[in-house]
Structure 1
Amino acid sequence: MDQANRELEALLDFYLASGIDCLLETDPVDRFAETARLAERRAAEQGFRPSDRPVQGAGPAAAQSPLSRRPGADRTFPQAAPAAPVPQQGNEASGGGTSVVLPNASTVESARDAARNASTLDELRACLEGFDGCNLRLTAKNLVFADGNPEARVMFVGEAPGRDEDLQGKPFVGRSGQLLDKMLKAIGLDRSAAYIANVVPWRPPGNRTPTPQETEICKPFILRQIELVNPDILVFLGSASAKTLLGTQEGIRKLRGRWMSYSTTGEEIACVATYHPAYLLRSPLEKRQTWQDFLSIKQKLDEKRLAQS
């Protein structure tokens, strides 16, 4: 019995190390049946009925087949019931009792419209809670909107929440978040003097990287979030958020430490990129460069404070 328990624990540890720590669906889904329904739907759109489809092996040769001479081979079997319509791209589809969305350009446009109509951060959060255009909401436990002070002069933006963030509904609360808190404290800041968010507000299953489609769907919301906060300084934690919001393909090694300008509606915000705390946990030697970046952030805050006084 002990041996069986150890083997089970080893298997669970293997799954956890592989990033598999949650169930995607509670009910089994027959993908073959879904494929068959899709084929039936496409055939119906082209003007065919199931009974009109040619049967493999039909024709003169089939008449001479030994199978065709078997007793009862000429019996007529009832046709299957018409398949349920398969939704087109951009609509909702049923999978395991859950509504899934096939993303397309109209899904991104609906995200832009929804974000544009939010005039406050509370409205934006409520808009995200009711938004059904991103399938990550189906596997995430919580919406991870933001943490910190929305009146803060500095805003930090990461890529997507992890397991701890998903459980608590707050960004950067796991090991990387603890490191971020230490980095903030080192320059005289804490979460009451900073505002923290992510480009993608739902955790991807197994902490995988968000797909380009998922990022594009969520992008209008973080753009509006930055507009509403309107910080003096914007800090990108990692290359993913910097590339998404700056529209660049440069890597973090070229981006970090360089002061740039982020444009919003009628505003120019000073911005800088630095290494993501999760990367620093894996590569502690890079902490020295990140410390230089945070000293630069402190200096920029002091300069802006003096300019505004």
Structure 2
Amino acid sequence: MESALDFFTAKALLEWQIDLGATEAILDAPVNRYDVGARSPAPHVPGPTAIAGGPAEPMPAAPDPVALARRLAAAAPDLGALAEAQQDFDLCELKKGARSFVFADGTPGARVMILGEAPGRDEDLQGRPFVGRAGQLLDRMLAAIGLARAAPDPDRAVYISNILPWRPPQNRKPEASEIAMMLPFVERHVELAAPEILVLMGNTPCGALLGREAISRIRGTWTEALGRPVLPMFHPAYLLRTPQAKRDAWADLLALQARLRET
């Protein structure tokens, strides 16, 4: 029987291996790395077929956000159900970073419906559209032609919403994919609110519903979308940055007032 190594011999052998470059012990016995046959075969990992005991099922495809939004919107019988369906929609990343879901304000059934772009900081905090400085300017603009969001009379009332119900980070411009997945909700929103006239404030709603974003060229020109007369106007936030454009905004308000009197 071979005698066990004494401490000093074992220590000397270990130091010799360290001098040769060995850094860690992995196996109980040495492996000749030049001998291919000595290498251990890669462990077998059973695939989906072996695990399931039959053909592997394909991974489910990611849902189409636009198609899902279209189905949910179409199934909403009224504004309350539509708001609930849109608020529960989880495929828009904006929802994760927003504080509030901002659906609408004003009087449903009003003759005029205003669509803006998206909530800002104040709207995100309060959960209502157009409540910051731009919203306060909008209220003054509407009052100048006898309209108000809180008016109980549908002839004087205004209903207000946005293309997006959640605030984009840092108030950035909405992305095309975000607009596309919210558009079915917007279209159903307009259908259920049933306004006589749509006012699109700013480039984003004009791009979403008219396919054009040149607001400086198309503002004040009556057109049509979703089967209704449409008046593109400057967004109140733009008017705060560009006071000289208020003259054009006033002309557009008078055009809106005249159209309401005609119908």
**Where on the TM-score scale, by shorter chain, does this alignment land: which range?**
0.7 to 0.9
Contact 1:158 1:276 in 2 (8 A): yes
The answer as to 2:74 corresponding to 1:130 is: no
Deviation at 1:89?
9.9
Match of 1:289 in 2: 248
Contact 2:206 2:212 in 1 (8 A): no
Distance 2:246 2:212 in 1: 23
The answer as to 2:128 corresponding to 1:166 is: no
Extract unaligned runs of 5+ from structure 2.
1-19, 28-44, 46-58, 152-156
Match of 1:110 in 2: 68
Deviation at 1:75?
3.5
TM score, norm. by length of structure 2: 0.75
Runs of 4+ in 1 over 4 A off after TM superposition: 88-91
Deviation at 1:277?
0.3
Cα 1:283/1:121, change in 2 over 3 Å: same
Deviation at 1:195?
0.3
Cα 1:90/1:136, change in 2 over 3 Å: farther
Partner of 1:257: helix, strand, or coil? coil
Deviation at 1:190?
0.5
- 1:46-61 → structure 2 map (5 Å cutoff): none
Deviation at 1:301?
0.5
Cα 1:214/1:90, change in 2 over 3 Å: farther
Q: CA RMSD in A?
A: 2.0
One-letter amino acid matched to 1:159: E
Q: 225, 232, 236: which one pairs with 1:273?
A: 232
One-letter amino acid matched to 2:103: F
Q: 21, 24, 31: which one pairs with 1:70?
A: 21
Deviation at 1:249?
2.9
Q: 154, 158, 177: which one pairs with 1:194?
A: 158
The answer as to 2:227 corresponding to 1:256 is: no
The answer as to 2:103 corresponding to 1:145 is: yes
| Number of residue pairs matched by the alignment | 209
Distance 2:158 2:122 in 1: 20
Match of 2:113 in 1: 155
Of structures 1 and 2, the larger Rg is shown by 2
Partner of 1:231: helix, strand, or coil? coil
Cα 1:257/1:201, change in 2 over 3 Å: same
Match of 1:41 in 2: none
Deviation at 1:250?
4.4
Contact 1:145 1:201 in 2 (8 A): yes
Distance 2:213 2:114 in 1: 19
Q: Which 10-residue stretch deviates more, 212-221 or 277-286?
A: 212-221
Deviations 1:239-272 (A, max 9, x none): 11011111x2340011101111113xxxx21111
Deviation at 1:108?
1.3
- 1:234-245 → structure 2 map (5 Å cutoff): 234-245=198-209
Q: 121, 134, 139: which one pairs with 1:181?
A: 139
One-letter amino acid matched to 1:72: T
One-letter amino acid matched to 2:248: Q
One-letter amino acid matched to 1:71: A
